[in-house]
């Protein structure tokens, strides 16, 4: 007889792992639950690190290579922690037509970050989204959950500038 | 156990409750208006009603999308039909003051304008009218009648026949006859079948499905349950993108409510029919909208497509026969069962029946969500309903079908909008994204935008798509930078031809469309950017230039 199903222990005694374990249990701890579980990890911890991936892969009996393959295939899953503030610029068609390139230029020239990057002081992360569904208000950015529509380059400069300075004091 | 009488009782209680209120203020809480802070408007109206002790007399009802997103937050007084735009929380007192007096002119939005008048609503009939958080609201609007009717008085095959008779075609982009797909799944053998609702809505600039799910989630669940009954499936999945938190929340509530009332779950309405629905969240991959990739994703893997056949109807989720339809397709089902396939078939054109929801955006005055009968012209959509181009600019093109579609120039504006006409001129109906472009945009840049999208969304499984999109993107960049010659355009066309004919799935097969259609209708813009290589700089005609 092979050794019975081996259940890895959570990476730490952080209570949040219970939430992750709960998702896996609800889905019967089968490989099918991989994506749902990664969603839970990201929701609870903000990103998916190697320890989390190992724990999830082990618990669902998915090869670690496959879990890594899935986690990196989907844009939504973040493998690195985000900065204190996040700025999501919509790069959907409606927003693009209405001037996203200028907004991205502000982020690059004034704050030194391109999509997917975080400022060196860890203050602001820049992400992009393919249509946040507010095309009527294009161009749109979402700064710390706050949707900003009909956004101009100077408004963005001002708003992100506040994120950078606020906590600097 | 819920029977037709129970539904009628709930409906009449609901109507009575509503009529008890002299005034009913509907506040849009769909994502468009929430982005302009309609949640605060709803809260301040509710507080103001409380402060004045008017509960029971004035109802403040959160509702779904009213369509004119660019004028949000929108508030409508239901009995008088007065519509207010750009409402702010400070306006609450003034609006309440006005209820028994004159409307607040300052905030008025003309509800008789062509934007509202020229639409015909089936899918969106409840959007902006009912409270999406309450199943009672949906039932009062005739909801779940079709399901009960199908379960208690129709055989599964009769349901399929009704859908065939309606002439409904898939709204996810392909336009495949829905009845035919249902009958394939119904006839397939096997102990287990699935129904899947495709709510991945990947077109970057389209939000029809999101609006339907946020505004009227039960309608989609009802359509899925009817599909389950017709095809013999007892399990349904909604594959919805994680970027739609509000739609996900509304769906979750709706599923819970429907289960509680025996409209989902075991022994629905006391019959032997079981049907359960679960959500599966997408994770930001456009290709997962493709049905075989979507199935791989529900199964927990990388969302990579596989060759068809076998089609999901034969071998889908976990190898079982699976029915996959789009959100809007399912949203049409309940009205078809309730009012009959013939009624539905009387709307639209010979080969495209019913209505279509479009998300109107870009350089157009009225951006938002519209529903029109198939066969209206693009001119009506852009200039009457959409109100034309703002800022004194000139119309240049309208883009339909997103990254798989094409650009339609001015000379085709009088063409009727249906599946076949759009295809003829090198675009597609697509899922319903419609982006208006004016003279300030370069069409080559638009083509590059979509190619960049396809390049980064290619799943990498097949080489024509993975490498081909990369090269086409490079060539488009070269053209835009002014470094290209006619030979580069010829190479671009050859690549279009190759990628289109050799890619594995729809993503690659249609990726060249935006390039081909802009080359077809706006070739001059490409040529204007070329280096005068040797001779006169004219691109040689290429065999791949057609649609
Ligand atoms: C690359 C690609 C992306 C797609 N994205 C979607 C989508 O976001 N939503 C959708 O309903 N169908 C999408 N489809 C079409 C689906 O594969 C499928 O045909 C559709 O869901 C069937 O439903 P219908 O017959 O009701 O249209 C996509 C197809 C391809 C090739
Ligand atoms: S394209 Fe930006 S919100 Fe839709």
In chain B, the residue whose alpha carbon lies closest to the alpha carbon of A90 is B204
Percentage of the residues of chain B whose pLDDT score is greater than 90: 89
Residue at A63 is within a domain: yes
**B543 occurs within a structural domain:** no
Ligand 2 centroid distance, CA of B65 (Å): 16
In a domain, A2, yes or no: no
Q: Do A148 and A116 have their domain in common?
A: yes
Q: Taking the C-alpha atoms of B385, B389, B392 and B397 in order, what is their torsion angle to the nearest 10 degrees?
A: -140
Verify whether ligand 1 is closer than 6 Å to residue B325 (CB atom). yes
Say yes or no: A114 and A50 in one domain.
no
| Ligand 1 atom having least distance to the Cα of B403 | 1
Element (H, E) at B161: helix B156-166
Which of B64, B361, B454 to mutate: most A Cβ within 10 Å?
A: B361
Q: Are residues A33 and A105 in the same domain?
A: no
Q: How far off is chain A from B165, nearest CA to CA, in Å?
A: 34
**Ligand 2 neighbourhood includes A35 CB (under 6 angstroms):** no
CATH number at residue B247: 3.40.50.11540
- The CATH number of the domain holding residue B447 is 1.20.1440.230
Residue B411 to residue B396: CA distance in whole angstroms: 10
Instruction: Determine the residue among A27, A34, A37, A97 to mutate to test chain B binding: the one whose Cβ has the most chain B Cβ atoms within 10 Å.
Output: A97
Whether B312 is in the pocket of ligand 1, judged by its Cβ within 6 Å, is no
- Measure Cα distances from A133 to A153, B79, B288 in Å: 20, 30, 18
Nearest to B528, CA basis, from B516, B537, B519, B520: B537
Q: Count of CB contacts below 8 A, A vs B?
A: 129
Q: How many domains does chain B have?
A: 4
Query: Taking residues B511-530, what's their average pLDDT?
Result: 96
Work out which ligand 2 atom sits closest to the CA atom of A129: 2
Ligand 1 binding pocket includes B514 (Cβ within 6 Å): no
User: Chain A partners of B441 at a C-beta cutoff of 8 Å?
Assistant: 97
Contacts 24+ apart (CB under 8 A), A7-13: A7/A58, A7/A59, A8/A54, A8/A55, A8/A58, A8/A59, A10/A55, A11/A51, A11/A52, A11/A54, A11/A55, A12/A51
Interface touch B361/A93, C-beta < 8 Å: yes
Ligand 1 mean position, distance from CA B170 (Å): 9
pLDDT score at B205: 86
Count of beta carbons in the 10 Å neighbourhood of residue A167: 11
Q: What pLDDT was estimated at residue B296?
A: 97
pLDDT digits (tens, 9 = 90+) for B164-200: 999 999 999 889 999 999 999 999 989 999 999 999 9
Cα dihedral sign, B339-B342-B345-B347: negative
Query: pLDDT tens digits, residue range A2-36?
Result: 455 578 899 999 999 999 999 999 999 999 999 99
Asked if A147 lies within 8 A of B363 by C-beta distance, the reply is no
Q: Give the distance from residue A95's alpha carbon to the nearest chain B alpha carbon, in angstroms.
A: 7
Has residue B547 got a pLDDT over 90? no
- The chain-wide mean pLDDT, for chain B, equals 94
> What's the predicted TM-score (pTM) here?
0.94
**Final residue of a structural domain among B344, B375, B391:** B344
Closest to B88 measured CA to CA, from B21, B150, B43: B43
The encoded tokens of residue B492 equal 């671009």
- Answer with the residue of higher pLDDT: B53 or B533: B53
What's the total number of domains in chain A? Answer: 2
Structural domain of residue A26, as residue ranges? Answer: 17-73
**Tens-place pLDDT, residues B294-314:** 999 999 999 999 999 999 999
Report pLDDT for B537: 44
Strands B368-373 and B395-400: unpaired
Q: Any idea how long chain A is? A: 169
CATH number at residue B85: 3.40.30.10
Domain shared by A93 and A164, yes or no: yes
Ligand 1 centroid distance, CA of A154 (Å): 38
Its sign, for the CA torsion A143, A148, A150, A151, is negative
Q: Is B507 in the pocket of ligand 1 (CB under 6 A)?
A: yes
Q: Name the domain boundary from A6, A38, A73.
A: A73
Ligand nearest to the CA of A90: 2
Task: Domain of residue B103: give its range.
Answer: 21-113
Average pLDDT value for residue range B381-400: 96
Is B290 in the same domain as B151?
Answer: yes
Quote the crossing angle between the two packed helices A50-60 and A16-26, to the nearest 10°.
Answer: 30
* Model pLDDT for residues B490-503, shown as the tens digit of each residue: 999 999 999 999 99
Residue having the nearest C-alpha atom to atom 2 of ligand 1: B290
CB-based contact (8 Å) between A139 and chain B? no
Strands A85-90 vs B355-362: parallel, antiparallel or unpaired:
unpaired
Residue B532: inside a domain, yes or no?
Answer: no
- Verify whether the Cβ–Cβ distance A73 to B34 is below 8 Å: no
Instruction: Kindly state whether residue B85 falls inside one of the protein's structural domains.
Output: yes
Q: Is A161 exposed, middle or buried (0-12, 13-18, 19+ CB in 10 A)?
A: middle
pLDDT band at residue B43, thresholds of 50, 70 and 90? very high
Q: Tell me, rounded to whole angstroms, the distance of Cα B130 from its chain centroid.
A: 19
CB contact (8 A) between residue B367 and residue A138: yes
Judging contacts by C-beta atoms under 8 Å, the chain A residues touching residue B302 are 69-70, 73
């Amino acid at each position: 007889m092979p050794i019975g199903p081996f259940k890895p222990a959570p990476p730490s005694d952080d209570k949040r792992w219970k939430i992750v374990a709960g998702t896996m249990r609800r889905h019967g701890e089968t490989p099918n639950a991989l994506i749902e579980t990664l969603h839970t990890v990201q929701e609870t911890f903000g990103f998916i690190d190697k320890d989390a991936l190992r724990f999830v892969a082990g618990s669902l009996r998915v090869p670690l290579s496959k879990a890594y393959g899935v986690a990196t295939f989907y844009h939504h899953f973040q493998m690195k922690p985000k900065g204190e503030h996040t700025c999501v610029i919509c790069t959907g068609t409606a927003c693009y037509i209405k001037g996203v390139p200028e907004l991205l230029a502000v982020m690059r020239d004034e704050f030194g970050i391109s999509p997917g990057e975080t400022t060196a002081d860890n203050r602001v992360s820049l992400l992009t989204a393919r249509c946040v569904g507010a095309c009527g208000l294009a161009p749109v950015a979402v700064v710390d959950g706050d949707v900003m529509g009909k956004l101009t380059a100077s408004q963005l400069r001002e708003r992100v500038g506040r994120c950078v300075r606020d906590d600097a004091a | 156990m819920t029977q037709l009488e129970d539904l009628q009782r709930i409906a009449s209680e609901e109507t009575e409750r509503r009529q008890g209120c002299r005034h009913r203020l509907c506040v849009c809480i769909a994502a468009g208006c929430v982005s302009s802070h309609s949640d605060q408007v709803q809260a301040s109206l509710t507080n103001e009603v409380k402060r004045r002790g008017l509960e029971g007399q004035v109802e403040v009802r959160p509702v779904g999308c009213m369509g004119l997103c660019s004028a949000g937050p929108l508030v409508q007084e239901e009995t008088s039909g007065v519509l207010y735009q750009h409402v702010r929380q400070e306006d609450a007192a003034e609006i309440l003051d006005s209820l028994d007096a004159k409307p607040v002119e300052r905030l008025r939005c003309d509800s008789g304008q062509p934007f509202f008048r020229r639409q015909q609503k089936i899918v969106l009939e409840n959007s902006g009218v009912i409270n999406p958080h309450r199943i009672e609201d949906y039932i009062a609007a005739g909801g779940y009648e079709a399901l009960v009717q199908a379960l208690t008085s129709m055989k599964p095959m009769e349901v399929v026949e009704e859908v065939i008779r309606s002439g409904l075609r898939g709204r996810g982009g392909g336009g495949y006859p829905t009845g035919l797909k249902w009958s394939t799944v119904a006839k397939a053998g096997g102990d287990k079948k699935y129904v899947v609702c495709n709510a991945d809505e990947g077109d970057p600039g389209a939000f029809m499905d999101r609006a339907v799910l946020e505004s009227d989630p039960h309608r989609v669940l009802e359509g899925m349950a009817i599909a389950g009954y017709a095809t013999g499936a007892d399990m349904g999945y909604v594959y919805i993108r994680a970027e739609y938190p509000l739609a996900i929340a509304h769906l979750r509530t709706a599923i819970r409510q429907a289960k509680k009332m025996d409209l989902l779950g075991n022994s629905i309405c006391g019959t032997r029919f079981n049907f359960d629905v679960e959500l599966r969240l997408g994770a930001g991959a456009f290709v997962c909208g493709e049905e075989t990739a979507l199935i791989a994703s529900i199964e927990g893997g990388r969302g990579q497509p596989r060759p068809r056949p076998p089609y999901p109807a034969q071998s889908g989720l976990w190898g079982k026969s699976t029915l996959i339809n789009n959100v809007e397709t399912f949203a049409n089902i309940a009205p078809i069962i309730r009012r009959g396939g013939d009624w539905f078939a009387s709307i639209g054109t010979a080969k495209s029946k019913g209505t279509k929801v479009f998300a109107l955006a870009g350089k157009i005055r009225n951006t938002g969500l519209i529903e029109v009968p198939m066969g209206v012209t693009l001119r009506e959509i852009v200039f009457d309903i959409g109100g034309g181009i703002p800022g004194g600019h000139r119309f240049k093109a309208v883009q339909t079908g997103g990254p798989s579609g094409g650009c339609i120039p001015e000379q085709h504006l009088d063409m009727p909008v249906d599946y076949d006409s759009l295809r003829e001129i090198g675009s597609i109906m697509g899922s319903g994204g419609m982006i208006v472009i004016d003279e300030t945009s370069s069409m080559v840049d638009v083509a590059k935008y979509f190619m960049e999208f396809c390049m980064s969304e290619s799943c990498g499984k097949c080489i024509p798509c993975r490498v081909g999109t990369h090269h086409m993107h490079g060539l488009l960049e070269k053209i835009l930078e002014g470094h290209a010659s006619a030979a580069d355009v010829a190479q671009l066309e050859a690549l279009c031809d190759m990628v289109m004919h050799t890619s594995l799935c729809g993503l690659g097969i249609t990726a060249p469309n935006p390039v081909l259609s802009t080359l077809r209708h706006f070739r001059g813009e490409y040529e204007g950017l070329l280096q005068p290589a040797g001779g006169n700089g004219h691109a040689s005609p290429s065999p791949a230039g057609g649609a």
